[in-house]
């Protein structure tokens, strides 16, 4: 099949079966597409949509996002995970306002320099918002192309990824780039799924090499398995005489980077505080490790906090950027 036949079949399928009612499609401008693409990194569409709508109501444009306090941004992101995305989004908005008069840049290399935007995300934004001719290679698209061309191996491997990029660029049509980009993502999300793909409904089935060779279940190959280490920490729920909770800003890198959290430490002790009890252990999974948290209830006579700390009532804490397990724990206190 030529590149033209590939895109023609895909677009014909998209017109009848693709997703046309996603909130970032109406209108499909650069800010809305950018926000969606960042939220959709590592996250399903159904999970993203309510977060996206709340975020857009609070920050309807780049300028509103750029001038907002980071805490407000993180608070609306709370529960969506991968919080570096929110910090990078906020930082990129400030750069766009400061260096590009608040207009999202249309030059690929300039977009690629913005925090949190890689090659595939830059291509997706420029193709969908401006109709530019750029390839994308998110997880769904890698799966579609790897199966269609029967490219073996794990798509995260450099050698495999380079083959996929070459193929993705070769297959680009000359027009309808925005629809083509969405069509590829839709096909991977709804038909060419990781498990139980619906090959009979695929517009590319006649030319799919993995299907012809009966290799659908083997392509793409999974990420090589590695042991996920287990980390154990104590979550110190320190209350002052007024009942306020001590929170501290997490470092930019590491667990819940940039968010507010009760202090974490290994010992479960805190100078000048008296232990009053413990809460049930919390188990939380991250991409590369599992975390076991033991909440400890402590009472402190202190009323002052360090530069990266603050005392907050439970109601005040809920308005800050908190990780989902911390927010859920505080609701039980």
Residue positions annotated with a catalytic role: 37
User: Counting beta carbons within 10 angstroms of the beta carbon of residue 237, is it exposed (0 to 12), middle (13 to 18) or buried (19 or more)?
Assistant: buried
For the chain, the straight-line distance linking the first and the last C-alpha, in angstroms and rounded, comes to 61
Query: Are 115 and 160 within 8 A, CB to CB?
Result: no
Q: Is the separation of the CB atoms in 185 and 19 below 8 Å?
A: no
Instruction: Go through the chain and tell me how many residues it has.
Output: 333
Both tokens of 97, joined, read 């306002």
Residue 111, sorted as left (phi over 0), alpha (psi -120 to 50) or beta, turns out to be alpha
Question: What is the three-class DSSP state of 110?
Answer: helix
With beta carbons less than 8 A apart as the criterion, state whether 314 and 245 touch. Answer: yes
Q: Which two tokens stand for residue 64?
A: 């509103």
Cis peptide before 119 (omega within 30 of 0): no
Query: Which residues is 232 bridged to in the sheet?
Result: 292
Radius of gyration of the chain from Cα atoms? Answer: 23
Best CA proximity match to 325, nearest among 272, 286, 297, 288:
286
């Amino acid at each position: 099949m030529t590149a033209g036949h590939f895109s023609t079949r895909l677009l014909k399928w998209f017109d009848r079966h693709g997703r046309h009612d996603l909130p970032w499609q109406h209108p499909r401008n650069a800010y809305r597409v950018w926000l969606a693409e960042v939220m959709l990194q590592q996250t399903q569409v159904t999970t993203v949509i309510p977060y996206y709508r709340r975020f857009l109501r609070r920050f309807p444009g780049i300028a509103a996002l750029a001038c907002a306090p980071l805490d407000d941004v993180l608070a609306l992101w709370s529960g969506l995970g991968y919080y570096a995305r929110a910090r990078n989004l906020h930082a990129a908005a400030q750069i766009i306002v400061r260096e590009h008069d608040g207009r999202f840049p249309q030059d690929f290399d300039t977009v690629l320099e913005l925090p949190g935007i890689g090659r595939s995300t830059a291509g997706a934004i420029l193709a969908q918002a401006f109709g530019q001719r750029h390839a994308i290679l998110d997880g769904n698209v890698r799966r579609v192309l790897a199966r269609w061309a029967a490219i073996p191996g794990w798509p995260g491997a450099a050698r495999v990824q380079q083959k996929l990029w070459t193929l993705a660029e070769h297959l680009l049509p000359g027009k309808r780039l925005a629809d083509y980009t969405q069509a590829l993502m839709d096909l991977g999300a709804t038909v060419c799924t990781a498990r139980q793909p619906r090959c009979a409904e695929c517009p590319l089935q006649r030319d799919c090499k993995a299907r012809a060779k009966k290799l659908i279940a083997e392509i793409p190959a999974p990420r090589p398995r590695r042991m996920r280490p287990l980390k154990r920490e104590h979550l110190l729920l320190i209350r002052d005489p007024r009942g306020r909770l001590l929170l501290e800003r997490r470092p930019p890198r590491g667990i819940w980077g940039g968010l507010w959290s009760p202090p974490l430490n290994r010992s479960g002790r805190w100078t000048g505080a008296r232990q009053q009890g413990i809460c049930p252990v919390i188990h939380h999974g991250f991409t590369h490790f599992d975390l076991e948290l033991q909440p400890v209830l402590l009472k402190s006579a202190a009323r002052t906090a360090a530069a990266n700390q603050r005392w907050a009532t439970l109601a005040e804490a809920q308005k800050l950027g908190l990780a989902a397990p911390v927010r859920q724990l505080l609701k039980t206190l």
